[in-house]
Amino acid sequence: MATTTIPWNDGSGGNITLTYSSASGNQTVTVSSDANTGYSDRTKVITFTTTTGNASATLTITQSSKNIIIITFNDVAMTQNDVAVGYEQ
């Protein structure tokens, strides 16, 4: 089993981990990540390239952020410094 680790490079220190049995021919690649502890989605584009270099494909990976419950009153959210205030689900 082979593993490739690619950092999110979003300052979180988190990584994307891709696991596959062999980097050759037809394979299923399992893509996982460290938990996203931020409050914004994050996106990374990675590239699969043949070793001959004449064929490639890109994979766009988006990791959702933590869900935040925002409490509103009469459709108005409470804010702090113009940022909605809530709590993690």
Partner 1 sequence: MAYASWVEPNKTSGNGNDTVSWTGSNHTGRTARQTTATFSASGVESKTLTIIQSGKSEFVSIDATASVAKSGGSITISGTSNSSKLTFSLTGTDNIGLTLPSTYTANSVSTNNGVAITGDPGATQQYAFSITFTNIGENTTISSKTAQLTVTPNSGTAAVCNITQAAGDAYLTISPTTITIPAAGTAQSVSVTSNTSWSIS
Q: Is 61 in the site for partner 1 (CB under 8 A)?
A: yes
**Binding test (CB under 8 A) with partner 1, winner from 9, 13, 67, 85:** 67
Measured torsion, CA atoms of residues 64, 26, 3, 16, in degrees rounded to the nearest 10: -10
**Binding test (CB under 8 A) with partner 1, winner from 57, 69, 76, 83:** 57
- C-alpha R_g of the chain: 19
**Binding test (CB under 8 A) with partner 1, winner from 1, 11, 28, 80:** 28
Q: Compare residues 10 and 33 and give the one whose CB is closer to partner 1.
A: 33
Q: How far is CA 61 from CA 43, 73, 80, 87, in A?
A: 6, 35, 31, 26
Q: Is 68 in the site for partner 1 (CB under 8 A)?
A: no
